[in-house]
Amino acid sequence: MRTLGKLYLPMTAGLLTAALAGNAFANEELTKLAADAKNWAMPTGDYANHRYSKLNQITKDNVKDLQVKWTFSTGVLRGHEGGPLVIGDVMYVHTPFPNNVYALDLNNDGKILWKYEPKQDPTVIGIMCCDTVNRGVAYGDGKIILNQNDTMVVALDAKTGKPVWSVKNGEQVDGSKAESSTGAPMVVKDKVLIGISGAEFGVRGWMAAYNLKDGSLAWKAYSTGPDSEMLVDPEKTTHLGKPIGPDSGIKSWEGEEWKTGGGTTWGWYSYDPKLNLIYYGTANPGAWNPVQRPGDNRWSMTLMARDVDTGMAKWLYQMTPHDEWDYDGVNENILVDGMQINGQPRDVLVHFDRNGFAYTLDRATGELLVAKKYDPTVNWATEVVMDPKSEQYGRPQVVAKYSTEQNGEDVNTTGICPAALGTKDQQPAAYSPKTGLFYVPTNHVCMDYEPYKVSYTAGQAYVGATVNMYPTPGSHGGMGNFIAWDAAKGEIVWSKPERFSVWSGVLATEGDVVFYGTLEGYIVAVDTAGKELYRFKTPSGIIGNINTFEHGGKQYIAVLSGVGGWAGIGLAGGLLGAEGAAAWQQAVAGKNAPTAEKESIATAGLGAVGGYAGLAEYTTLGGQLTVFGLPD
């Protein structure tokens, strides 16, 4: 660890207030910073996760003139997810493992003001299922919060880069428990929200809130287990309007399977200050083999609404009970006020799930308002039952042909759509209050899925399935679509096909331009009707989130390039060749590892390597920030 130079931050009223009054005003300061469109002060732009900017210098008429203004090499290869923060005259850039953080002076050609280099046990690399990604840092009370891959959470002084406090979120930081961290923190009021990764290793998920002042634990809520550890009230916490009842996080599991129950929390978080509720989703249940974990496996695959002060859950909604396909429910929840649904204004939460359904819920009560497929080729279920009087209310209706449970262990169920990485993975969508539409990056991928018996050993892979992915058959031939979605009606407004999955976070702007990135490395700008206006190829595939900011009176667009993540794990993890794939198979599948070289490569990376093998013809590893602007 070392620091370089000094950091200058403009002493705005918000910053002065925070400096004088401490944490009592930390959230007020952050709210003001985020409300100023010149900044990008939160990983998702704002608490509602809109990823929308009121900046409008770059418009649908002049976006074609964008040019590269400056670049910055991160010095790290592997997948670059997330994006930089911009606060005043300083940009904060993060990297994948080892999770270096840079503070760059926007007044001085991006001069490195300080650099933080954490020292982590490299063993952690081996227990990260889908690349060594990190989705970004957060800001609050003069601190930059880094959630390291080894589960250490570090608060850095924003001016100097020196650690103020650090805390171990996981039980071990050497990978021996297979706990890891990939998600971006969120600062809310006087707390830092931190999740956990590792469901593929049987990690029992939780959400933790640490006090921003000193890193002490405020509360911790598990996704499975006893009510007291889940922070739920069996009579007051509801699921689709009804009390969840006692010990639902135990009774829905066989024996003590809940202790290795997954339900990790590595996605994005949102916050409603009026309701004082935070929202997030939980991941897949432990073991991809559904046969060996009977029951609904609550509360994996679940949207959770919790009081930010106490952690107590107000409502839960399980989207995919007894998951049979690895459809993690961790994707972002986008909050919209006054959406007209059936002629009535509703304050809603909109969630694009991996399972291929887009959900619109009342965010105060968890009432399910809309649940529709946002890719019409989704086939594992016919519908989600919307009749509150039905015993199946809120449940997807599974198609027997595509049920890996019903087909049984050691049977290869073919043609399941979407694949395990979902119609959309963690790459966040954007919402434009100007158009009322959601702009969604999607995967257009299907799979074959063969479950097998697997035993749990702490720190070892706990998967129990062989997966092979491929482009959706009989469609446009590509592996991605960029779509506009009407969440009130549950309808696709328009869809733009792409060669590979659209794995970047989206940016919508008041200039009537929507930006996204592609796995080949293109940053793309379209108008609100989906017409392409601009395309530029960066040095490596884009899985980062596109942000915008203003400096010196001019608007800029920023994006991290660096192929990787689950879709790019073949490139990032060296799994495209026989040796690398075989090593991965032995570590994850053991005696169930395929012996044929072709199958070994195709099913490596939890099935993604074969599906995205062609990506190596279009891009290669990298690690670069690219900043775009209009001509001077």
Return the SS3 of 193: strand
Residue 546 is which amino acid? I
Task: Choose the catalytic residue: 46, 323, 326, 375.
Answer: 326
User: For residue 188, which phi and psi values (nearest 5 degrees)?
Assistant: -130, 125
Q: Cβ distance 516 to 504 under 8 Å?
A: yes
Sign of the Cα pseudo-torsion (459, 196, 354, 605, in order):
negative
Strands 413-416 and 396-398, how do they pair? Answer: unpaired
- E-only strand ranges, 328-367: 333-341, 344-352, 357-362
Angle between helix 26-35 and 13-21 (nearest 10) = 170
Return the SS3 of 416: strand
Q: How far apart are CA 182 and CA 180, in angstroms?
A: 7
Q: How far apart are CA 256 and CA 115, in angstroms?
A: 45
List, edge to edge, every strand of the sheet that includes 480-486.
430-432, 437-443, 480-486, 491-498
| C-alpha R_g of the chain | 22
Q: How far apart are CA 599 and CA 480, in angstroms?
A: 24
Question: Exposed/middle/buried for 169, CB within 10 Å: 0-12, 13-18, 19+?
Answer: buried
**326 is known as an active-site residue:** yes
Q: How far apart are CA 475 and CA 359, in angstroms?
A: 24
* Residues assigned a catalytic role: 326
